[in-house]
Structure 1
Amino acid sequence: MNIARIETFLVPPRWLFVRIETDDGLVGWGEPIVEGRAEAVASVVATFAERLVGADAGRIEDHWQVMTKGGFYRGGPVLSSAVAGIDQALWDLKGKALGVPVYELLGGPVRDKVRVYSWIGGDTVQALTEEALRAKENGFDAVKCNAAAQLEHIDSPAVVHRIVDQFAELRGAVGDDFDFALDFHGRFSTAMTRRLLPLLEPLLPLFVEEPVLPEFSRDLARITASTSIPIATGERLFSRGDFRDVLPTGIAVAQPDLSHAGGISEVRRIAAMAEAYDVAIAPHCPLGPIALASSLQVDFATPNFLIQEQSLGIHYNEGNDLLDYLVDPSVFAFTDGYVRRPTAPGLGVEVDEAAVRKAARDPHRWRNDVWRRRDGAFAEW
């Protein structure tokens, strides 16, 4: 089972897929992407293909080692994401070749269903509350939303109180049998985070995500020690090495991204590291169907899994949504806030190749916004 062909596809709304075909006709799919830098990742995939074409597709770990360490310069989001997508596709091929889901190759399932949450948004408290209640009506028992838009380094009391009042109203609307998580998105300075977290504690959010930028991860110990709110981080950490100094800081939830952090191979290892620190895993995944399918395979085989992000209906998905490139979308049927364990071999999904090829004829050029503060200086997006 040697690799015969590797192709990439830029498809809307903002995704990159990789297709790996073997000489005996098997096809595996992966999702290597850095949002807003998809073209750069596709170039790295093409570079890796120079070594991979003709090689044994079943040697997943050996390929992972060579891709991540075979060049003098290592790491970073673009390289790690290219590795991640190829790794997903190789696991997909291995499972299909053996006729089993990937989670069976990771030691077998430890659960029958995986809890998922829905993204909500809104420019007003009313809109946010309406979306949360709609998610509740649709069977979800957890949502996540951004805590704020652009902020000053230390913002006014009015801004702080507005944030707290907004989520107090949300808690009152959804009740205590419903979870919401707040994504700080790295928009808060360490000072703003420490000011706000104590005021949010009575609302008992499921977690606060990325309270500071990844370059300030060494400050997380001060933040976790100052609040009872579970702290989550990790979407912009790309390896075990990146997580090594973060896991002992007292975080409650690690959020590696299966399309950024080296794929199934590396996230599985990050999860095992996290378990030693009593840290749960909640894979980051506001992306496409292959990234979600890969995440679920890890979720089903990981004892310290908490909850899974998924992108159905997320604000980024303009024009195309999570289920558009699947032959059978029912594999992602969310019932009472859970998704059942897939049983098909490999990643458990069948990609609609014709739809992918058609969409890739008009490749996206998605870029994230650039925000400015009141004085015109750059603000974190």
Structure 2
Amino acid sequence: MRNKARIAEVKTLSCSNSFRNYHFLKITTEDGTVGWSEFDENFGSPGVAYIINELSHRLIGQSVLLHEHIREDLSDVTRPALSGVIAQAIGAIENALLDAKAKIMDVPAHVLLGGMVRDKIRVYWSHCVAYRMRTEHFSPPIHDADGVRQIANDVRNDGFTALKTNIFEYDANDRISAWAPGFGRPHDLSRNVERKTRQDLRRHLEIMRESAGPDIDILLDLNFNARTDGYLEMIREINDLDIFWVELDTLDPKALAYIRSKSNHPIASCETLLGLQQFLPFFQNQAVDVAIIDTPWNGVWQSLKIAAAAAAYEVSVAPHNFYGHLCTMMNAHFSAVVPNVRIMETDIDRISWDSEVFTHAPEYKDGYLILPDRPGWGTEPNEEALKKYPPLAKTGLINRTATPRLDF
């Protein structure tokens, strides 16, 4: 087994996902076993594939069974800059090694990760409204408050029990627009939260609550769209509403702990952190109720260590998951073995060719993802289908919004 598990080839692939690209890593052993992982270059992370390819020569001839050894070797040779896209590249390598190792052992990945404590994982329907505003890719399209009501109804009628939405502004005709200055929409360096923005946020949540009904949990994601005072303004505006959690991003754990102290709702955060050392100050400062872990970025094996540390501080965790079906399966196996998982993110609105690109789609029943029992992650890309949908030349946050020119 040891010799057959030696790595013979490391290859990255990608294809179009309509408005962004899917990215995959394929590691093949000398006996033909293939380990897959999915990574991302759209969410502020250009160049991950380049880093993987730069590191790939160090994998050739090594055994996929020794994923911890390989990770430490890669960490050693990148240590002066061991963060950002380098850490994400190493995470992608770790995840492909885990898939290959599980396939060699002929077991589902959750067995390799320690064994499941649950065989189904509660999920929430993420990006409610945001995706359907991309009318050229998703349907039915959302232009106004009626579309918001429609998708809230769809969540309930399709058997899901929770949804997550974002910040939207409403004009005099009830037409909506996204408000995300943290991501350059609009370009506003101040990221101040004015009265209309917070009032529109409240109205948006009230519309969703009325249409979804009293039994659907509503999660709110504020992202990086404010500073401490702005987050406090929005939290005060909605403190009396029925909200499952308020999610927001700041890199200051003490500021987040202060925001948490003023919120009537649980606070979720940390989705952009990399490595246990970055998470620890948020646990030590009691800054979060739920730590969101991006397992494609961190690597699932390392994410287990983060989740264990969170448990020591009585903190729940939740996967960051807005990618393709392979990432969803990776997160499902992680969620199956971690006792302190709160709920799992997933995107239910999908592009039409997802069923071609992946060999298996997640199975959902009554608001839960049913854990697959196939070897490895339980799905993989269809390479022939990838060729049908070549990757887009320019995608991701770096190509989304040009900064207005300032003429002097």
Distance 1:78 1:162 in 2: 36
Is contact 1:33–1:82 with CA below 8 Å preserved after alignment? no
Within 1, Cα distance between the matches of 2:46 and 2:203? 41
1:226 aligns with 2:262: yes
| Aligned position for 2:86 | 79
Q: Partner residue of 1:208?
A: 246
Separation in structure 2 between the aligned mates of residue 357 and residue 55 of structure 1, nearest angstrom: 29
Could you tell me which amino acid in structure 1 is paired with residue 237 of structure 2? L
CA offset at residue 84 of structure 1? 1.5
Separation of aligned partners in 2, 1:125 and 1:279: 36
CA contact (8 A) 2:360 2:378 kept: no
* Compared CA separation, residues 73 and 298, structure 1 to 2 (3 A): same
Decide whether the 8 Å contact of 1:101 with 1:346 is kept in 2. yes
Deviations 1:286-319 (A, max 9, x none): 11122111111110000001111122316xx5x6
Report whether the alignment pairs 1:265 with 2:288.
no
Query: Hey, what does 1:11 align to over in structure 2?
Result: 15
Displacement of 1:221 after TM fit? 0.9
Assess, with a 3 A threshold, how the Cα gap between structure 1 residues 371 and 160 changes in structure 2: closer, same or farther: farther
Partner of 1:63: 70
Distance 1:275 1:46 in 2: 35
Q: Which runs of 5+ in 2 are unaligned?
A: 130-141, 169-178, 182-189
Give per-residue Cα distances to partners, 1:138-158, cap 9 Å, x unaligned: 111111111241355333322
Partner of 2:290: 253
Matched, 1:22 2:22: no
Whole-angstrom distance in 2 between the partners of 1:18 and 1:104: 22
C-alpha distance in 2, partners of 1:36/1:243? 19
Matches of 2:119 and 2:27 in 1, distance apart?
Answer: 30
Aligned pairs for 1:330-345 within 5 A: 332-345=362-375
1:141 aligns with 2:161: yes
Contact 1:171/1:203 (8 A) holds in 2:
no
Q: Cα distance, 1:364 vs. partner?
A: 4.6
Identify the residue that residue 354 of structure 1 maps to in structure 2. 384
Residue 36 of structure 1 deviates from its aligned partner by 5.5
Amino acid at match of 1:367: G
Aligned equivalents of 2:82, 2:382: Cα separation in 1: 32
Q: Is the 8 A contact 2:326 2:358 kept in 1?
A: no
Tell me, yes or no, if the aligned pair for 1:221 and 1:250 is still in contact at 8 Å: yes
- 1:185 aligns to what? 223
Tell me the secondary structure at the aligned position of residue 244 of structure 2.
coil
Matched, 1:43 2:59: no
Deviation readout 1:231-282 (Å, 9 max, x if unpaired): 1112210110110111233311111111212x11111111111111221111
Secondary structure in structure 1 of the residue aligned to 2:389? helix
Q: How many Å apart are 1:180 and its aligned residue?
A: 1.2
Give the corresponding residue for 1:112.
Answer: 119
Q: 1:27 to 1:217 in 2, by over 3 A?
A: same
Match of 1:150 in 2: 180
Q: 1:366 aligns with which of 392, 395, 398?
A: 395
Normalised TM-score (structure 2): 0.84
TM-score normalised by L of structure 1: 0.90
> Cα–Cα, structure 1 residues 359 and 153, in superposed 2: closer, same or farther, change >3 Å?
closer
Preserved CA contact (<8 Å) 2:6 2:61: yes
- Percentage of matched positions with identical amino acids: 26
Q: What is the alpha-carbon root mean square deviation over aligned residues?
A: 2.2
- CA–CA distance in 2 between the matches of 1:237 and 1:123? 33
Rate the CA distance shift 1:37–1:198 in 2: closer, same or farther, 3 A.
closer
Q: Note if contact 2:155-2:212 (Cα within 8 Å) is conserved in structure 1.
A: no
Residues 1:276 and 1:72: Cα distance change in structure 2 (over 3 Å)? closer
Question: 8 Å contact 1:12–1:320 — kept in the other structure?
Answer: no
Structure 1 residues 202, 88: closer, same or farther in 2, change over 3 A?
Answer: same
Q: 1:371 to 1:156 in 2, by over 3 A?
A: farther
Between the aligned partners of 2:387 and 2:28, the Cα distance in structure 1 is 15
Question: Separation in 2 of the partners of 1:138 and 1:364?
Answer: 35
Which amino acid in structure 1 is aligned with residue 347 of structure 2? S
SS at match of 2:94: helix
SS in 2 for 1:245: helix
Question: For the residues of structure 1 that align with 2:204 and 2:385, how far apart are their CA atoms?
Answer: 41
* Native 8 Å contact 1:150 1:371 kept in 2: no
Unpaired runs of 5+ in structure 1? Answer: 377-381
Q: Is the 8 A contact 1:9 1:357 kept in 2?
A: no
Letter in 2 for 1:237: L
User: Is 1:161 the counterpart of 2:199 in the alignment?
Assistant: yes
Matched, 1:126 2:146: yes
- Residue 255 of structure 1 aligns to a residue whose secondary structure is strand
- The alignment partner of 2:47 has SS state of helix
